[in-house]
Structure 1
Amino acid sequence: MLAIACLLAVISYRGWPLSLICTLAILILKNMFDLQELTNRLKSGYGSVAIDCPIGSQNKLELLLVRMAIDGGQTARTRRQPVTWDVADGIQSYPSPGQMMAWEPQCWVKTAVQVPAQVARAGEPAPCSLLRYLIHQASNAQGEACLYILYDLPRFLLPHPQFEVVNRLLKRACTVLNYSNSRMILVHHGHQFGEEFQDLISEMEYPLPDEPETRALVQQQLQELQASAQGQGQQIPDELTPQDLTRTVRALLGLTEEGQINLLQYAVRKLRAIDHHLPGAINQMKQRQLIRLGIEYAPAPDVPAQGLTTMDEWVQMTSAALDPRAREFNLPNPRSLLLIGPPGTGKSLICKELSSRLGLACIILDFGNLMTKELGGSEQKLRDILKAASTVSPCLLMVDEMDKAIGQSAQEGDGGTSQRLIATFLRWLNDHEEPVIVIATANRPTFSPELLRRFTRVFVDLPTLRARKQIFQVHLQLRHLLPDPLPTSGRLARQYNTWLDTLAGLTEDYTGDEISQIVIKVAYNAFIKVRDGAAATVEDLLPVTLEELEAVTRSSPPQHRGQYREREMLLEWVKNGMAIHANPPEPVAAGARISRRSVSFED
């Protein structure tokens, strides 16, 4: 309860809304930060601990540290006076632990601390006065034991003559604190302490909310939003299914508590509803935020992928594996996928489709953009992207055309950079524990066996007759050449079905991309006809005939026609058990004759 009291005191002082107070109070009790580990380190004699904490979680971390300081025990050695510092407000002290336990929460106000004149030195950077004061206080055997919470101090450890004194004073402070009852917490975000501090500062990380924490936050916040709307005479319909709730929770992962609350509130207010549109709205806003950090996302698919029998099973299994309850049965994270097949068969589209079905963000890893002239720079950029993916997990990590980037043929003439990238990537694939699912694509399986064995390998072949019919349908409907939905009975239903059967029969050896280009060309021709005539709106169908579709199809030969040898090698590779079919070949009945012409015998 003391933690909640501390929370209410600080937040009421900052003027935060009641809904945020309640939510953060719940999260403090369910926090995943290993406070016991921090306590053990401090009690074991570590004088200084650095905590890498996102900016949006630093207020919450401070409250946890204050709780630890004032609730550490009854002896002077375990209970410490909380003192904070940042470059804007300088040194500030909370009330003493005894006062904080006895006073009303509204009385817990931090006060400024003046550095004695004999300690400070004129003209020095701001952190110097702080560190001299800290050393002075910690060296006093009769002084009060304090917990110093310092923000962004690593910014002042740059290799610049002006900051050399900061570096030296920090080393001295760390050493003094090791023999003192006081302790120092260095709160920062994304900074690195050099090797010279390895034996002086113990490092920890403050995690972002995991899925159970985020679920609790979403449920609490949605209740608060509905209550707030009702208080204003407004109604927000709640039509969120359990599946939509899970997708909403996953869309918010990778953000701090405040970031999650901000996006959730904005999305609900914008939609004026709590329904299946909520996860998509959150994902769009989240992606715009993270793009500014250099994270590139794959766009949503413009059409659904067709003919993915094996992928349907994979989505079902992966969705179950991402359920937090799966950990209770010691089930591992889903295996990554390697999609192999000829160009244009829809491998990249499958990545986007899987992202859409699972409700997960799809981050793009482009090995070509990783290459730098600096030694080790490419590997560092790769580590940064992998860390970003781990931060927003669960997510998909899309590696398009991986054979061109790190395949065996790509390793020649780059000074060994590709080999180092492969080593870094393999190490991460083998060691990472976060639910980051890699979906890589390649035209050929030109990879080392040690890389291949880390993937579930899926062969994406040219589309089957049934799949080609489905591809034609979705693209013709997308370009307003067929009605959506198709009629299910009557003359038009038979006519459109004949069209699709005929086109599917004409396009053997065509890829899905080539079929889409045929439809686009036909749609342009139809649009040109009506552009200067009757106005065409998105509700109207563009005029097109089967003969026009057939003519464009016959004038666009497939790129893979005649190139059977390479495809046969891939099929043999699959037949030997090296991969599974994304869509197994359709069985042909004994004695059946395959015709390119489709005849309807219905009346």
Structure 2
Amino acid sequence: MKFTDELTLLLKARYPIIYINTIEEDRVEYIIRKYIKTSLNRSIYSWDFIDGYTNNPNNEGFAKRNPVQALELVERLTAQTPALFLLKDFNRFLTDVSISRKLKNISRILKLQPKTIIIIGSELNIPKELYDLITVLQFQLPTESEINYELKRLIDSLNIEIDQQVLESLIRACQGLSLERIRRVLSKIIATYKTIDENSIQLLLNEKKQIISQTEILEYWSVNETISKIGGVDNLKDWLKKRKTSFGLQAANYGLPTPRGLLLVGIQGTGKSLTAKAIATEWQLPLLKLDVGKLFGGIIGESESRLRQTIELAETISPCILWIDEIDKAFSNNDSKGDSGTSNRVLATFISWLSEKTKPVFVVATANNVDLLPLEVIRKGRFDEIFFLDLPQKQEREQIFKIHIQEFRPNRWESFDYSKLAQLSESFSGAEIRQSIIEAMYHAFYEKREFTTEDICLALTQLIPLSQLENNQTLKLKNWALSGRIRLASSKSISIN
């Protein structure tokens, strides 16, 4: 139900006190004056602690710095006067016994007369004794259509043309920001670039970063990794490519559900974290990393509260990528017995949100040890897909060597023997391949010369890959992947040694 429809219904039903939880005070008042005053023909009285009542000449400045007196105006008006009382930041006074008692007393009047108190506050804090009197109404941030209207209005006023796909990207970047903040950033964009185009997206994402910096649980990651930097995993790349434009208006009009998320399972160093960063870059969405260690607090109930705050913030910033690294360690079956059930409660909250979320928050979770993952997490419906990232096969190792050497030596990368390097690097992960190149560079730099294929070959013989040190865990992961319960990230066949 739309906000205006819900508010109108509550007013007609004579709910005495309505609490609108929002940071957009001016936008709420504008909407109430535009829609509610017209449809219900009520006088509107607006009060704040500093200026008292405003916008009404008969009561201008009344009840300055006096919240109790602000409530007395309700009793002063005649019973036949339909009125709305907008009390800004009044939530800060609700714990005062005189305010609490006064609200209880005048609630009898409000139920019989066409008068309603509307409290506007950015924080939701209601004393228990007022729970039955106050009805909470959430005022959401601007919708896609409202942002679209605002952007088109500005584009028309500047007399510029903009590509539809760029417009959709701008709309996505604006989601999660208040209308006032959007206007402020757009003014900054025009002052910087003299126009609105694809360069504007980064400034909008930076504005979201300011919001994220206010929390210690979520971290905003600025990334520039691309899918092309990931060697192999062609099945996963194809899956991601088909969903790149699924957050736009065209996808919604087509009736396409928004992608929910991915669980990436595999051996360490196979590119799971890199994939999370690359998705954010390719899809031009902000990347938020959840610090699971900071999620679990010492006070009972605090961890669940922190998770709910994290979810709320991610949904506010949406559309976005929420990256949960090593989820197997966060919700380990082995760690949930001695913490008074905190892990189980947090897990229940998390998987319930995964199944029921409606906001475009794409979750990318990574895991190294499938044995530690609770069955509730890997059950179908939590994530769109579960991919297994295996150690790269010979052809994929050649590609990984090319990617990294081209990064280090863009002018002479073609001079290396990639077939030989791939042959010697069996059982190496992508991260270990990169490390072998760095080792070769250190060796050659010490001898004051350029590194060669032979230097890398020497480094490969000296490095022991993790898969050999944890052979049993590697085999267990591969056997689980071959069982058919998980999708393979690469079309190359898995080898069991």
After TM superposition, the score normalised by the length of structure 1 is: 0.75
1:447 aligns to what?
Answer: 373
Structure 1 unaligned spans of 5+: 1-31, 73-77, 97-110, 228-237, 487-492, 531-541, 589-603
- Of 390, 405, 415, which residue of structure 2 is paired with 1:461? 390
1:510 aligns to what?
Answer: 428
Q: Which moved more, 1:350-359 or 1:203-212?
A: 203-212
**Alignment identity in percent?**
29
1:88 aligns to what?
Answer: 50
CA contact (8 A) 1:503 1:550 kept: yes
Query: What's the CA shift for 1:422?
Result: 0.7
2:13 aligns to what?
Answer: 44
Aligned partners of 1:439 and 1:311: how far apart in 2? 13
Superposed CA offset, 1:515-557 (max 9, x none): 2222333445556677xxxxxxxxxxx9322222222232222
Aligned partners of 1:524 and 1:273: how far apart in 2? 47
Superposed CA offset, 1:131-185 (max 9, x none): 2333x225x425x322111111111234xxxx22122223333343122222221
Aligned partners of 1:319 and 1:87: how far apart in 2? 48
Superposed CA offset, 1:399-423 (max 9, x none): 1111111021221322211011111
Aligned partners of 1:220 and 1:465: how far apart in 2? 55
Structure 1 residues 341 and 268, CA, compared in 2 at 3 Å: closer, same or farther? farther
SS at match of 2:363: strand
Structure 1 residues 285 and 516, CA, compared in 2 at 3 Å: closer, same or farther? farther
CA contact (8 A) 1:378 1:421 kept: yes
Aligned partners of 2:207 and 2:445: how far apart in 1? 34
Matched, 1:149 2:86: yes
Superposed CA offset, 1:189-219 (max 9, x none): 1323244333212211111122233233223
Alignment of 1:49-128 (within 5 A): 49-54=18-23, 57-72=24-39, 78-94=40-56, 112-115=60-63, 126-128=66-68
Aligned partners of 1:463 and 1:52: how far apart in 2? 51
1:291 aligns to what?
Answer: 213
CA contact (8 A) 2:478 2:494 kept: no
- Of 403, 408, 420, which residue of structure 1 is paired with 2:345? 420
CA contact (8 A) 1:83 1:147 kept: yes
Give the number of the structure whose alpha-carbon radius of gyration is greater: 1
Structure 1 residues 131 and 356, CA, compared in 2 at 3 Å: closer, same or farther? same
Structure 1 residues 569 and 476, CA, compared in 2 at 3 Å: closer, same or farther? same
Matched, 1:353 2:260: no
CA contact (8 A) 2:47 2:86 kept: yes
Aligned partners of 1:524 and 1:127: how far apart in 2? 71
Aligned partners of 2:468 and 2:185: how far apart in 1? 50
Matched, 1:212 2:145: yes
CA contact (8 A) 2:266 2:389 kept: yes
CA contact (8 A) 2:90 2:121 kept: yes
Aligned partners of 1:256 and 1:289: how far apart in 2? 11
Superposed CA offset, 1:358-400 (max 9, x none): 1112222222211112110000000000011111112221111
2:439 aligns to what?
Answer: 521
SS at match of 2:243: helix
Aligned partners of 2:462 and 2:203: how far apart in 1? 42
Matched, 1:280 2:217: no
CA contact (8 A) 1:33 1:207 kept: no
Structure 1 residues 34 and 273, CA, compared in 2 at 3 Å: closer, same or farther? closer
CA contact (8 A) 2:14 2:116 kept: no
Structure 1 residues 529 and 61, CA, compared in 2 at 3 Å: closer, same or farther? farther
Alignment of 1:291-440 (within 5 A): 291-294=213-216, 295-302=218-225, 304-328=229-253, 330-440=255-365
Aligned partners of 1:587 and 1:475: how far apart in 2? 23
- Of 120, 127, 131, which residue of structure 1 is paired with 2:71? 131
Partner amino acid, structure 1, of 2:313: A
SS at match of 1:71: helix
Structure 1 residues 224 and 470, CA, compared in 2 at 3 Å: closer, same or farther? farther
Structure 1 residues 470 and 270, CA, compared in 2 at 3 Å: closer, same or farther? farther
Query: What's the CA shift for 1:512?
Result: 1.4
1:101 aligns to what?
Answer: none
Aligned partners of 2:474 and 2:173: how far apart in 1? 39
Alignment of 1:169-318 (within 5 A): 169-225=102-158, 241-272=163-194, 274-294=196-216, 295-302=218-225, 304-318=229-243
1:482 aligns to what?
Answer: 410
2:402 aligns to what?
Answer: 473
Query: What's the CA shift for 1:275?
Result: 4.2
Aligned partners of 2:209 and 2:479: how far apart in 1? 41
CA contact (8 A) 2:45 2:54 kept: yes
Aligned partners of 1:529 and 1:272: how far apart in 2? 52
- Tell me the matched-pair count: 488
CA contact (8 A) 1:322 1:435 kept: yes
Aligned partners of 1:66 and 1:156: how far apart in 2? 25
Aligned partners of 1:553 and 1:284: how far apart in 2? 41
CA contact (8 A) 2:71 2:102 kept: yes
Partner amino acid, structure 2, of 1:469: E
CA contact (8 A) 2:319 2:361 kept: yes
Partner amino acid, structure 2, of 1:552: A
CA contact (8 A) 2:4 2:36 kept: no
- Of 443, 452, 475, which residue of structure 2 is paired with 1:545? 452
Query: What's the CA shift for 1:586?
Result: 5.1
Structure 1 residues 214 and 521, CA, compared in 2 at 3 Å: closer, same or farther? farther
Partner amino acid, structure 2, of 1:66: R
Superposed CA offset, 1:541-592 (max 9, x none): x93222222222322221212643322222221222210011122599xxxx
SS at match of 1:255: coil
After TM superposition, the score normalised by the length of structure 2 is: 0.89
Q: Give the superposed CA RMSD.
A: 2.7
Superposed CA offset, 1:406-456 (max 9, x none): 021221322211011111112212222112121111112233332211222
Partner amino acid, structure 2, of 1:46: Y
Structure 1 residues 165 and 431, CA, compared in 2 at 3 Å: closer, same or farther? same
Superposed CA offset, 1:284-304 (max 9, x none): 342134312444123315463
Query: What's the CA shift for 1:315?
Result: 2.0
Aligned partners of 1:218 and 1:522: how far apart in 2? 52
Aligned partners of 1:324 and 1:431: how far apart in 2? 21
Structure 1 residues 315 and 190, CA, compared in 2 at 3 Å: closer, same or farther? farther
CA contact (8 A) 2:390 2:494 kept: no
2:484 aligns to what?
Answer: 577
Structure 1 residues 466 and 112, CA, compared in 2 at 3 Å: closer, same or farther? farther
Structure 1 residues 586 and 95, CA, compared in 2 at 3 Å: closer, same or farther? farther
Structure 2 unaligned spans of 5+: none
